Amino acid sequence: MTTCVEVCVDSSESLRQALLGGANRIELCASLHLGGLTPSDGFMQQAVRISTVPVYAMIRPRQGDFLYSDDDIEVMLSDIHGAKQRGLAGIVVGSLTPEGFVNEAILRQLVRAADGMGVTFHRAIDQSRNPMEALEIIASIGCERVLTSGCAESALEGATVIKDMVNTFGSHLNIMAGGGVTAENVRGIIAASGVSEVHLSGKTTRPSGMTYTTADASMGAVDVNDYSIAVTCAKKVKAVVSACNK
């Protein structure tokens, strides 16, 4: 069985590296260090032009939880419209109630706005109160896929829960394992969970090309090195693809 390898990227450089490594699908984001936010319109346009595989846009207007206000929803609906206009294959969404259940009303709005695009429900499910009940709702509303770590810190740790998801809902939803996926553990994750799709960033860092640097003015948090650039590594992606298809 062929395994689909999805790679999440947040820059043009990472996009090209993911494609070079053999990614089967791209999740387009901004700010992966925050768990992934909605990519810019310019990045969406460029990704459609560059990518040779389907591109899904993360639709997440801010960092933090998945409890969204009316203003947040307005932004999300506008971003979905933009992704559709740019010709992306799909979107990645999720929304919860204060009590930790899937917010059915909001999810229906988002899926309706996608209007024929593919829809993945992201790892908000790993913060839900009852993941199996959540899957039933997600499937009934029309999502095609769920990304999950099995409610654990990593997909390997959550493989037993992911297997239960696959066994119960695999005929209605694609269950995609994500969270700490590497070439070294991906075969174990697949064997233990039964998934046919995996998700990773394949991140590494490279030094800045700046010949002049300064420590006097940081562009963000003081513990973030502005001269160390996080980027997807084509070799890491290729190694996962190779391991999956042995």
> Under DSSP, is residue 145 helix (H, G, I), strand (E, B) or coil?
strand
- Give the type of residue at 169: F
Summarize the confidence of residues 208-233 as an average pLDDT: 87
- Which residues 6+ apart lie within 8 Å of 71 measured at CB? none
pLDDT in tens, 19-32: 999 999 999 999 99
Q: Quick check: helix, strand or coil at residue 54?
A: coil
Residue 1 has pLDDT above 70, yes or no: no
Q: Specify the residue for token string 């064997």.
A: 191
Which sequence spans correspond to the domains of the chain? 4-244
DSSP label of 96: B
Distance CA(56)–CA(92), nearest Å, equals: 6
Determine phi and psi for 220, rounding to 5 degrees: -155, -135
Q: What's the topology of domain 4-244?
A: TIM Barrel (3.20.20)
Can you give the pTM of this predicted structure?
0.95
Average pLDDT of the chain is: 96
User: Of the candidates 1, 99, 40, which has an alpha carbon nearest to the alpha carbon of residue 9?
Assistant: 40
- Quick one: which H or E segment has residue 164? helix 159-169
Q: pLDDT tens-digit profile of 70-120?
A: 999 999 999 999 999 999 999 999 999 999 999 999 999 999 999 999 999
How do residues 126-182 score in pLDDT, each as one tens digit? 999 999 999 999 999 999 999 999 999 999 999 999 999 999 998 999 999 999 999
What sign for the dihedral angle of Cα 49, 50, 55, 59?
Answer: negative
Pairing of strands 228-232, 203-207: antiparallel
